[in-house]
């Protein structure tokens, strides 16, 4: 584990002394960080990266400016608590050397072509990165940053930066233009994961973002703005990712909602405000959300991760010092998604992901309570929206590939037309089939 340099340790100690003397500057998280630094503690890579992200406050460090009482500004004290310039620059250098650990995400309305000339592939065209886009840690990629890397290697095309599995396709062409890093790629239709999981989500718009995996070779920091300009990077891969367009949101992809928690009794009362307070106490989220705070909410806005208001739809309360899923919380969320009590305002691209989580929780509760009739109303809405064979195909295609949807519909027609003894038997067989193919559609867990 890395240890901050002596200068950073001294800066942190000075920040603590100034905060105690003048009564301002920094949050409790900053104080905790300063105590670790001043004590020469071993720091985790996550902590170092949080220090690096504090670079966005560089412009608030004004050592020559004094407040009316003669003391330093709150911004100056806060900067020192995080190790000062020596600590932040050190953290940035450590983060830069963490190859394949840095990701940037950009929302791309990319093209998907089901090519008639190449029947074995889905073709996509997209930007993997855009130039001069200042992200939440004050980084911006300069035009020309990828040129040397592209001469050395063709980046891989992955799903969610998962380098343990095989790629999801192959990049055929890639270049820098005036806007950013433009590439064209092919995704094989005979790959079941691509065909059955990725493509349907791309078609309905729930997947529309790409992220790059890279290491920094050359960068410059503007001391006035604190913006770090990436002049040259080593590009290793481009990933299709779920989360929307900013670096923070991409990093938070590792902070998944925890659905594998114990479930409370079905009739346990739910008080959302009290539950949020309990979650804040349990996660020690005093002045800002902690790293594990997001696990107990079905949605949070990655662009505002340091604000409590960014976290919506809590579904957990703390019972006997253990995070526990509250069924009535899940019921309330399902109702809100249907418009109850004014509904809930979510970005279109994130709504389906939340719906999938709610459906997963209903499946988990049905198993826990041994109640097959406990079915998500959101799934029922999905079923009720089907009023013809054509809409049946479209509905199934949101969960399966188009080819599989057509096969399922064909099977339904076959059952309906089968020569059986009675109408009652036909109805029974159709109900059995639909329950197996529609009501039990597997959600993404």
Neighbours of 187 (CB within 10 A): 22
The pairing of beta strand 209-221 with beta strand 170-176 = unpaired
Q: Which range is least confidently modeled, 31-35, 78-82, 262-266, 350-354? A: 350-354
pLDDT digits (tens, 9 = 90+) for 404-445: 556 666 766 666 665 555 556 656 665 665 555 554 444 333
Residues 345-369: what's their mean pLDDT? 83
Residues 99-128: what's their mean pLDDT? 61
- pLDDT score of 192 more than 50: yes
Cβ proximity of 222 and 74 under 8 Å: no
50-60 in b/e form (b: 16+ CB < 10 A) is bbbbbbbebbb
More confident residue, 395 or 204: 204
Q: Give 251's pLDDT tier (boundaries 50, 70, 90).
A: very low
Q: Give 73's pLDDT tier (boundaries 50, 70, 90).
A: very high
- pLDDT score of 269 more than 90: yes
Residues 45-61: what's their mean pLDDT? 83
What is the structure's pLDDT at 71?
A: 95
CA distance 53 to 57: 9
More confident residue, 270 or 372: 270
Q: Which range is least confidently modeled, 168-182, 214-228, 393-407? A: 393-407
- Tokens of residue 122, six digits: 């889905």
Residues 393-407: what's their mean pLDDT? 56
Neighbours of 173 (CB within 10 A): 10
Helix (H, G, I), strand (E, B) or coil at 231: strand
What is the structure's pLDDT at 117?
A: 41
When mean pLDDT is compared over 11-25, 37-51, 170-184, the highest value belongs to: 11-25
pLDDT digits (tens, 9 = 90+) for 116-170: 445 678 888 888 888 877 664 557 889 999 999 999 889 999 887 765 567 899 9
What is the structure's pLDDT at 427?
A: 62
Helix (H, G, I), strand (E, B) or coil at 334: helix
DSSP 8-22: HHHHHHHHHHHHHHH
- pLDDT score of 329 more than 80: yes
What is the structure's pLDDT at 408?
A: 63
Percentage of the chain modeled with pLDDT above 90: 26
Q: Which range is least confidently modeled, 92-106, 118-132, 269-283? A: 92-106
Beta bridge partners of 105: 211
Residues 305-328: what's their mean pLDDT? 91
Closest by alpha carbon to 94, among 220, 222, 3? 3
- Whole-number average pLDDT of the chain: 78
Beta bridge partners of 125: 111, 184
- pLDDT score of 401 more than 60: no
Residues 39-68: what's their mean pLDDT? 85
- pLDDT score of 274 more than 90: yes
- pLDDT score of 254 more than 80: no
- pLDDT score of 245 more than 90: no
């Amino acid at each position: 584990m890395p240890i901050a340099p002596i200068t950073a340790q001294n800066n942190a100690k000075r920040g603590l002394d100034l905060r105690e003397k003048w009564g301002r500057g920094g949050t409790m998280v900053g104080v905790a960080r300063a105590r670790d630094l001043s004590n020469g503690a071993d720091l985790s890579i996550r902590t170092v990266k949080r220090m690096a992200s504090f670079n966005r406050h560089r412009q608030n460090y004004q050592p020559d400016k004094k407040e009316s009482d003669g003391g330093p500004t709150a911004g100056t004290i806060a900067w020192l608590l995080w190790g000062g310039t020596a600590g932040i620059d050190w953290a940035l250098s450590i983060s830069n050397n963490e190859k394949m650990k840095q990701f940037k995400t950009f929302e791309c309305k990319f093209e998907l072509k089901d090519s008639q000339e190449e029947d074995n592939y889905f073709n996509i065209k997209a930007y993997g990165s855009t130039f001069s886009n200042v992200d939440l840690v004050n980084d911006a990629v300069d035009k020309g940053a990828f040129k040397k890397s592209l001469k050395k290697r063709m980046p891989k095309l992955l799903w969610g930066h998962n380098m343990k599995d095989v790629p999801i396709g192959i990049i055929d062409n890639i270049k820098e233009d005036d806007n950013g890093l433009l590439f064209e790629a092919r995704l094989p239709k005979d790959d079941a994961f691509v065909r059955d999981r990725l493509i349907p989500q791309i078609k309905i718009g729930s997947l529309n973002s790409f992220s790059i995996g890279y290491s920094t070779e050359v960068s410059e920091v503007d001391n006035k703005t604190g913006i770090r300009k990436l002049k040259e990077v080593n590009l290793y891969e481009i990933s299709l990712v779920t989360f929307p367009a900013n670096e923070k949101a991409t990093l938070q992809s590792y902070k998944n909602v925890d659905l594998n928690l114990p479930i409370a009794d079905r009739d346990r009362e739910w008080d959302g405000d009290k539950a949020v307070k309990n979650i804040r106490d349990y996660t020690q989220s005093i002045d800002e959300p902690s790293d594990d705070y997001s696990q107990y909410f079905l949605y949070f806005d990655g662009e505002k991760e340091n604000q409590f208001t960014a976290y919506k739809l809590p579904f957990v309360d703390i019972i006997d010092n253990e995070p526990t899923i509250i069924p009535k919380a899940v019921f309330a969320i399902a109702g809100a998604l249907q418009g109850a009590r004014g509904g809930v305002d979510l970005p279109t691209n994130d709504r389906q992901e939340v719906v999938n989580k709610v459906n997963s929780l209903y499946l988990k509760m049905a198993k826990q309570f041994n109640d097959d009739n406990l079915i998500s109303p959101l799934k029922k809405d999905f079923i009720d929206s089907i009023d013809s064979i054509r809409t049946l195909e479209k509905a199934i295609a949101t969960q399966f590939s188009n080819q599989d949807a057509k096969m399922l519909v064909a099977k339904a027609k076959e059952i309906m037309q089968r020569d059986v003894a009675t109408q009652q038997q036909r109805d029974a067989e159709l109900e059995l089939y639909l329950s197996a193919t529609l009501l039990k559609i597997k959600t993404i867990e």
